[in-house]
């Protein structure tokens, strides 16, 4: 039979692990994209600064040419060409304030790369500079920078602050005419693309490594979690197995394949009357080596499985055992055997009760059939005896013989009456009553006889009372029978103690005497009809007591030590 193994608590499924890895990948991609954008922005800003420095240099050259009254802007043209000699600069173009192309580097083609005044102003959109990455014919992808400057803006203000006289033909004209230039710079983006490419590769490599490490970490976490979850589940399963074994109603002794005892549950401790730690680790032959375990030893030595083999009790209080040995077949190289021990004492008691009931039923049928046939002749004998007694003197031999006949007839009638009461008991009428009151009533009936025999009766009754469902007359008869039996065991007087108490399971009545006691071999037969060791006893007193206890759903037990006294313990169900 296959059993479903529950998933350990806290277990992370592969689907959750995949989601975690995907989420980690998305986070890494987002962080990488932001990093690339930031790096690209920094590189573009670096290009912009380089272009700004070039524009400032050209502006300075234009300012110097203007201040030195040089014509034709030859110095300016030369400086523009010199600025384009850098490896990173593809071209430099200069326009005047009206948008007329003034000069450009050798790689600049005005018809292809040039811009009109409107396009220049649209790019600037009112600002002093503008830049963008664009694709141009023949040059491909480049960084295109557009700027506008006036060579006399700051210098002229400085000259005015120093109150330097106007320069004829220059300063006067500059006050009326705005001198401005447009600069168009194209810069190579190869280094930018290479830097971004290298950063992308490094970022991908870092992402891959980080993802690999993250995945490995997650996998290791899952493995560790599975390991600890498995250990926890295994520990729980082991504890559950131990609890099941400890809670078994049968004794269990496990023996490994070498024959050493490994497990002994509490029930096995009880029936074997040992402590588990005293035999665990021992070989079974070292424990079952006493005479009382001779049968067990012989069965285990064969190594053959056996079932419900009876092991009789070795003493009066010992349990009757039924032993079963089953081999253990293991798939991991273990093996061994398991010994089950079942206490059959209760079964024996039930069997004894059944046999006793069968005997009593047979006796009842016999008594019911014979009582009438016996009583009629006895009545005739007693009648004729009374008639004959009138013909003889009371002190004569005949008169004394007739008295003996009448006395024996009365005794036989009493025995028959007891037999009829025993064989045809009336149905008890159960009601809630105080057992203490029943005890007091029964004691009052035998008190005078106890005093005459020198017996002291001691009552130790529960102060709060002891209520049971019982038949008052039946319980009173039970007590009187026990009292009379005790009186017969106290021929020279003694103490008779009656105790009532309430335990966790039942209401308990104890009748103890300090008399002669009962022999051990007689304890199993005292409730049998007609069993008695007394010369004048009928052997029905305790049999009637046992029947009354059964009628009340209780149980009776007799504890006796010869020469020290007897204690009768009767237990009734609690109300």
SS3 of 108-155: the string is: CCHHHHCCCHHHHHHHHCCCCEEEEEEEECCCEEEEEEEEEECCCHHH
Query: pLDDT for 149-190, tens place per residue?
Result: 887 765 444 544 444 454 444 444 444 445 688 998 888 888
CA distance 112 to 137: 7
Residue corresponding to tokens 């809630």: 432
HEC per residue, 29-62: HHHHHHHHHHHHHHHHHHHHHHHHHHHHHHHHHH
pLDDT of residue 500: 92
* CATH number of the 348-423 domain: 1.10.287
At residue 367, the 3 state secondary structure works out as helix
For residue 303, is it left (φ>0), alpha (ψ between -120 and 50) or beta?
left
* SS3 assignment, position 378: helix
Asked if 273 and 290 touch (Cβ cutoff 8 Å), the reply is no
Spell out the domain ranges in the chain.
Answer: 16-197, 250-342, 348-423, 431-573
| Contact (Cβ atoms closer than 8 angstroms) between residue 476 and residue 438 | yes
Helices and strands (H and E) in the chain: how many = 16, 17
The per-residue pLDDT for range 347-385, each reduced to its tens digit, is: 666 666 667 666 666 666 666 666 666 767 777 787 777
Report residue 466: phi and psi, to 5°. -140, 100
Exposure string (b/e) for 113-129, b if CB count within 10 Å is 16 or more? bbbeeeebeebeeeeeb
Q: What percent of the chain has pLDDT over 70?
A: 78
Q: With H, G, I as helix, E, B as strand and everything else as coil, classify residue 486.
A: helix
**Residue 437 has what pLDDT?**
92
Question: 43-75: b or e for each residue (b if 16 or more CB lie within 10 Å)?
Answer: bbeebbebbbebbeebbebbbebbbeeeeebee
Query: Is residue 231 within 8 Å of 251, Cβ to Cβ?
Result: no
Radius of gyration of the chain (CA): 61
Helix (H) or strand (E) holding 497, with range, is strand 494-502
Distance CA 28, CA 36 (A): 12
Rounded to 5°, the CA angle 473-446-561 comes to: 95
**Distance in angstroms between the alpha carbons of the first and the last residue of the chain:** 47
Can 16-197 and 250-342 be said to share one CATH topology? yes
Per-residue model confidence (pLDDT) at position 422: 60
DSSP string, 247-313: T-SSEEEEE-TTSBEEEE-HHHHHHHT--HHHHTTSBHHHHTTSGGGHHHHHHHHHT--EEEEEE--
Question: 14-67 and 74-83 helices cross at what angle (nearest 10)?
Answer: 160
Q: Which CATH architecture has domain 431-573?
A: 2-Layer Sandwich (3.30)
87 CB-near residues (< 8 Å, 6+ apart):
188
Q: Return d(Cα 364, Cα 423) in angstroms, integer.
A: 4
CA 103 from centroid of its chain's CA atoms: 90
Largest CA distance in the chain: 199
What SS3 state is found at 182? strand
Distance CA 181, CA 102 (A): 9
- Which parts of the chain register pLDDT below 50? 1-6, 8-9, 71-72, 155-157, 159-164, 166-177
Q: Is 95 helix (H, G, I), strand (E, B) or coil?
A: strand
Closest by CA to 130, choosing from 94, 191, 184, 181, is 184
Give me the CATH topology for the region 250-342.
Answer: Beta-Lactamase (3.30.450)
Q: Which of 318, 40, 319 is nearest to 191 (CA)?
A: 40
d(CA 270, CA 344): 13
Contact call for residues 514 and 490 (beta carbons, < 8 A): yes
Tokens of 430: 């159960």
CA distance 307 to 320: 15
Task: Tell the CATH topology of 16-197.
Answer: Beta-Lactamase (3.30.450)
Q: In terms of C-beta density within 10 A (0-12 exposed, 13-18 middle, 19 or more buried), how is residue 439 classed?
A: buried
| Bridging pattern class, strands 321-328 and 336-343 | antiparallel
- 321 CA to centre of own chain: 34
Per-residue buried b or exposed e for 491-500, using 16+ beta carbons within 10 Å of the residue's own CB? eeebebbbbb
Residue 177's pLDDT is: 41
Percent helix, strand and coil across the chain, each to the nearest 5: 50, 20, 30
Q: What angle do CA 112, 113, 117 make, to 5 degrees?
A: 110
DSSP state of 503: -
């Amino acid at each position: 039979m296959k059993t479903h193994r529950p998933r350990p608590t806290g277990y992370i499924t592969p689907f959750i692990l995949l989601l975690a890895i995907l989420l980690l990948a998305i986070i890494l991609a987002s962080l990488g994209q932001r990093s690339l954008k930031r790096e690209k922005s920094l590189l573009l800003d670096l290009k912009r600064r380089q272009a700004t420095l070039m524009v400032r240099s050209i502006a300075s050259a234009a300012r110097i040419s203007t201040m030195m009254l040089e014509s034709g802007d030859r110095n300016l043209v030369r400086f523009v060409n010199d600025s384009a000699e850098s490896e990173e600069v593809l071209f430099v173009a200069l326009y005047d304030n009206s948008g007329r192309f003034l000069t450009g580097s050798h790689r600049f083609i005005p018809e292809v790369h040039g811009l009109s005044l409107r396009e220049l102003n649209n790019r600037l959109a009112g600002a002093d500079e503008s830049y963008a990455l664009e694709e141009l014919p023949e040059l491909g992808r480049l960084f295109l920078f557009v700027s506008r400057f006036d060579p006399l803006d700051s210098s002229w203000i400085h000259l005015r602050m120093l109150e330097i006289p106007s320069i004829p033909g220059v300063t006067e004209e500059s006050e009326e005419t705005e001198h401005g230039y447009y600069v168009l710079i194209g810069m190579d983006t190869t280094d930018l693309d290479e830097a971004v490419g290298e950063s992308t590769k490094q970022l991908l490599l870092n992402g891959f490594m980080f993802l690999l490490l993250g995945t490995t970490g997650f996998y290791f976490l899952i493995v560790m979690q599975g390991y600890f979850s498995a250990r926890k589940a295994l520990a729980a399963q082991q504890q559950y197995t131990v609890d099941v074994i400890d809670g078994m109603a049968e004794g269990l002794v496990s023996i490994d394949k070498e024959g050493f005892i490994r497990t002994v549950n509490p029930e096995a401790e009880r029936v074997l009357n040992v402590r588990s730690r005293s035999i665990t680790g021992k070989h079974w032959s070292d424990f079952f080596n006493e005479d009382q375990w001779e049968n067990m030893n012989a069965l285990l030595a064969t190594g053959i499985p056996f079932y419900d083999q009876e092991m009789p009790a070795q003493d009066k209080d010992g349990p009757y055992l039924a032993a079963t040995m089953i081999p253990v077949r293991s798939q991991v190289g273990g093996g061994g055997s398991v010994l089950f021990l079942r206490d059959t004492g209760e079964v024996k008691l039930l069997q004894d009760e059944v046999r006793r009931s069968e005997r009593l039923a047979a006796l009842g049928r016999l008594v019911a059939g014979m009582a009438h046939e016996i009583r009629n002749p006895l009545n005739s004998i007693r009648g004729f005896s009374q008639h004959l007694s009138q013909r003889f003197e009371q002190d004569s031999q005949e008169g004394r013989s007739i008295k003996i006949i009448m006395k024996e007839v009365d005794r036989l009638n009493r025995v028959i009456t007891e037999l009829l009461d025993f064989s045809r008991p009336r149905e008890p009428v159960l009601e809630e009553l105080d057992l203490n009151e029943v005890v007091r009533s029964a004691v009052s009936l035998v008190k005078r006889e106890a005093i005459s025999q020198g017996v002291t009766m001691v009552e130790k009754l529960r102060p709060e009372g002891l209520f049971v469902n019982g038949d008052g007359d039946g319980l009173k008869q039970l007590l009187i029978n026990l009292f009379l039996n005790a009186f017969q065991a106290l021929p020279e007087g003694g103490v008779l103690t009656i105790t009532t108490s309430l335990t966790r399971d039942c209401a308990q009545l104890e009748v103890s005497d300090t008399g002669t006691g009962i022999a051990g071999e007689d304890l199993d037969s005292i409730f049998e009809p007609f069993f008695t060791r007394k010369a004048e006893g009928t052997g029905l007193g305790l049999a009637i007591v046992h029947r009354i206890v059964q009628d009340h759903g209780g149980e009776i037990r007799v504890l006796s030590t010869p020469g020290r006294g007897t204690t009768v313990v009767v237990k009734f169900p609690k109300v």
